Each structure stands twice: as structure tokens, then as C-alpha cells.
Structure 1
Amino acid sequence: MNAVKQILIEHLKNKRILFNMSIRDFKSKYIGSYLGAIWAFVQPVTMVLIFWFIFQVGFKSAPVDDIPYILYFITSIIPWFFFSESVSSATNGVVDNSFLVKKVVFPVSILPGVKILSALYVHLVFVVFTFLILVMYEYSVNVQMIQVFYYMIATILLVLGISWMTSAIVIFFRDTAQIIAMMLQFGFWLTPIFWSLGMMPDKYHTIVKILPMYYIAEGYRNSLLYGRWFWEQDLYLTFTFWSITIFMLLVGAYLFKRLSSHFADVL
């Protein structure tokens, strides 16, 4: 718990550096390209359109709970994009900035947070984009929609715990990044994003519900489509998600603090 507290304090003390570095990181990804930052949105939008065409046009997927398939799909894939991009980029957060670790006194613990904050900018744009699509489909705005920010914060805390762990381990075991990429692929197909949990046999429901991103994906849907408060969900899901997230934060912070003193020697 002390490790988590110390790292969070470092984030608060260096919030200006964190913000400036995240802006620079976002811009640096697209330096030299004609479309610039637009590329940050092209790939996710293309992926959404491909899945929409396959399942809506090709397989003629029926509405889910009388909700157009495109809305059911997009409200859950948007948080997945954020989670996936944050975890994959934050895992290499320290490695990508190794010069800061080796040459200057620098709060290394904020480096994964820089990547997460950089991914958050794109996510916020997609949240606005989702709201616009809901308006186009004549969905009324309701107060429950503000819960998106609760689930957004929940995702950030989950990713922080994971990234503290993976960004420390990857320095000593470089295959970690590839393992994380493979696990994200499994997670995408196992999480009910483009399919409904009701399509799966009941005996597998418990396994799927343990996945942290099931809670987030369903939370976005409940907030934007069904108008349900988070306390109206299964309390077991909430307890499971926060238990896993707190565990990740504690273990991630401990590993990061324990291993950080050796970063400069290995990088």
C-alpha cells in the first residue's frame, strides 16, 4: 500500500511534467505524416466499420434487446480500444524513455502514466463521437450517461496497476511485450464486445464475468444505452472488478518500486 501511495504522490507532484510529456508523446507518434494526429482515429474507425460490415451487413446480426447492433457494438469497443492501447503502450513506457532513466534524476514511475494519458486523449474524442452517434439514432440524453467517467477512471486504475507491473518486468524479460499483445488478442475475443453473453452457454458465464473488461464494457453499455446506474448491476461484478484492480495496483506498485533501482543497470 505504501508503494501505491508513493507512486501516486509522484504523479501528483509531477503532474505538469506528466501532462507535457503525454502531449509530446501523442504528437511524436505522427510526426512526418501528412494526416498527423488523424491517424490516431483512422485505425479504430476502420476496425469498427469492418466489424459493422461483417456482422451487420454480412451476417445480418439482429438488434440486441431492440438496440441497433452498431450501437451495441460501438459502446463497448470504444473502452476496449482505450484499454488495449494503454496497456500495450504503457508496457514499453520505461523502455521508450530509457535515456531519462539513465542520465537524469527523473520520477520514472510516471512514464507508464504518460502513455496512458496520451491514449486517454483519443478515447475522449471517441466518447464524444459515440454521443453524436447516439443522438443520430435519436437516443435521449440521460443523467446515467455521466457514469462513463466512473468507468473511465476505473479503467485507468486497472491499466495503471497492470502497466506498473509489465513496464518493470519487460526491462528484464523483453518477451513480455509480445505476451501482453497475445493476451490482449485473447481478451478481445473473450470479452462480449461484438457478441452478447447470452450467446454463450451458462456454464461459461462466470469465467467471462471474471474478466475485468467485462465489467467496463457492460458499464459503458448500461450507462449509454440502458440508462442503468452502476449499483443496479450485479454487486458481485463490482466486487470482483475492484478486487482485481486493487490487487493489480498493489502488486504492480510493489514490483515497480522493487525493480526500479535496477532499471539503469539493465537499460
Structure 2
Amino acid sequence: MNVMFNVIRDQIANFKIIRRMAKYDDRATYQSHYLGLAWEFLNPLIQIGIYYLVFGVALKRGDPMHGIPYLPWMVTGIAPWLYMNKTTLDASKSVYQQVGLVSKMKFPVSVLPSIKIMGNLYSFWTMMAFAVFLMFTNHIWPTVSWIQFIYYFFCMIVLMYALGIFNSTVSVLIRDWHITLQSILRVLFYMSGILFNFQTSKFPILFVRVLELNPLYYIVNGFRESLLSRGWIWQQPNLNLTITFWMFVLLFMLFGTYLHNKFRADFVDLI
């Protein structure tokens, strides 16, 4: 437990470094591209267009929630998913990509996943702004439930760090882990309710309850219920899912920080 708190203190103490390196990292990634940082926003928009044409038009999914058109419902969920998917993969390789930085200077290695988490927020805010625009064009207006957005955003950031510190350490120990993680996320995409609503599907209720235990579903569904005014955190089954979510986060945070602290001194040799 003390190790976990020390890692959290590192993030707070080095917040300015994290912010500066996140900006530099984004610029370095796209410096040789003609459109530069614009690709941070174009890639998610292209993916959203493809999914809407396939599931919203070709397959005619209809309205997954009563009174809510498919496009704003889909974008409200896919925006946090695209962020979490990219951040999880980027954070998982953050340590072994920066082995030169780790070996040449005294650097808090535990902040490397946080750099990816902050760097990817630019495209996330763009996608959320697009989702809000679609809601307004479909006459979906802000309500008091929008305040829950702050809570679910905090949940998303904490989840990303818990997974990031765990995956970045395991990726150093097991080099195949990053590729395995890509496959896991592809499966979770269809198990997180991104493109269809579990509640209105024809799945058996027990199967739906199992799918809802997915922490990524908790975040996606939470953003939707907040912005589309469809539920509150303390209502059932949200309360049970909230307890399950935080237990999952605590488990990965404890195990991830333990592994990170145990092998941190050997990262350069292992890589």
C-alpha cells in the first residue's frame, strides 16, 4: 500500500514535467507529417464515420435508447473508448520506448504512463466536443446529470494509470504482452457496449450482467448516462458496478505498483 501511495505522490510532484513531455511527445510523433497534429483528430473522426456507416446506416441499428438517435449515442460512447484504447496501448510500451531516458538520467519512471495519458487527452476533448455538437443538433440539452461527467472522467484517468503502470511493467518482463494486449482490446471493443446497447439487446440477462462487470463498459456507459441524462451513480445497478469498478482499479493499482517497484532497478538490463 505504501508503494502505491509513493507512486501517486510521484505523479503529483512531477505534474509539470508530465505536461511538458506530453506536449513534446505529440509534436515529435507527427513532426514529419504534412498535417501534423491534425491526425490526432482526423483518425478518430474517420473511425467514427466508418462505424456509423456500417452499424448506423448499413445495419440500421435504430435508436439504442428511447428518444436518442444512434449517432450521438454511439459517439458519446466511442469517444472515451478510442481514448482508452489508444492510451492503454501507448502506456503499455511507455517504459521500454524510453529506456534511453531512464538509463542516462535520474528520472521517475513511474510517470512515463502518465505522459501518454495526458498526451492523448487532446484528441479526447475534440471527440467529446463533437459528441456534444451532435447532441445539440438532435435537441439533447444539458441537464443536472452532466455534473457526473467529472466523476466518470476521474474514473477513466485513474483506470488508465492503474492499467498503464501494470502493463508497462509486464511489457518489459514479457515482450509479447503488448501484442497480446492489442488482441484483448479488440475483443473488449465488442464486449463494452460501444456499438450496441446491452439493455435493449436480446442477450440473456445473466450474460448481460457479466458483460457489465467490464470496467471499460462502466466508463462508456457512465459517460452516456451522464450526458444523455439516463441515470445516476447511486441507482441500481450502477451502485454495484461502481463498487466492482473500484475494486478492479485498486487490485491493478496495488499489483502494478508492486511489480513496478520490484523491477524498476532492473528495467535497463531487462530491456
Superposed pair shares fold, TM > 0.5: yes
Cα deviation code 1:213-237 (max 9, x no counterpart): 1111110110111253322342111
The answer to whether the 8 A contact 2:143-2:229 is kept is no
The code of the aligned residue for 2:78 comes to I
Q: How many residues align?
A: 267
Q: CA deviation at 1:72?
A: 1.5
Report the Cα offset of residue 266 of structure 1.
2.0
Residues 193-212 of structure 1 correspond to what in structure 2 (within 5 A)? 193-197=194-198, 198-199=200-201, 200-212=203-215
Render the CA deviation track for 1:167-215: whole Å, top value 9, x for unaligned. 1111121101001101100100111111111312223112101100111
CA deviations over 1:32-85 (Å, ceiling 9, x no partner)? 111111101112111111111112221122112221011121111111111111
C-alpha separation in 1, matches of 2:221 and 2:74: 11
Amino acid at match of 2:27: K
3-state SS in 2 of match to 1:44:
helix
Deviation track 1:102-156 (CA, whole Å, cap 9, x = no partner) reads 1111111100110111112211221122112211112111222132221111011
Q: Distance in 2 between matches of 1:82 and 1:37?
A: 16
Which residue number in structure 2 is paired with residue 127 of structure 1?
128
TM-score, normalised with respect to structure 1: 0.96
1:151 counterpart residue number: 152
Task: Please report the RMSD computed on the Cα atoms of aligned residues, expressed in angstroms.
Answer: 1.2
Contact 1:171 1:263 in 2 (8 A): yes
Name 1:218's counterpart in structure 2: 221
Match of 1:243 in 2: 247
Counterpart Cα distance in 1 of 2:42 and 2:126: 12
**8 Å Cα contact 1:145/1:227 also seen in 2:** no
- Identify unmatched segments of 5+ residues in structure 2: none
Q: 2-side partners of 1:227 and 1:88: how far apart?
A: 31
For 1:164, give the aligned amino acid: I
Match of 1:230, SS? coil
The farther-off stretch of 50-59 and 183-192 is 50-59
Distance 1:38 1:250 in 2: 37
Equivalent residue number for residue 40 of structure 1: 40
> TM-score w.r.t. structure 2 length?
0.95
Q: Which amino acid aligns with 1:128?
A: A
Corresponding position of 1:58: 58
The aligned counterpart of 1:231 is 234
Query: 1:124 & 1:146 partners in 2: Cα distance?
Result: 16
Q: Which runs of 4+ in 1 moved over 4 A?
A: none
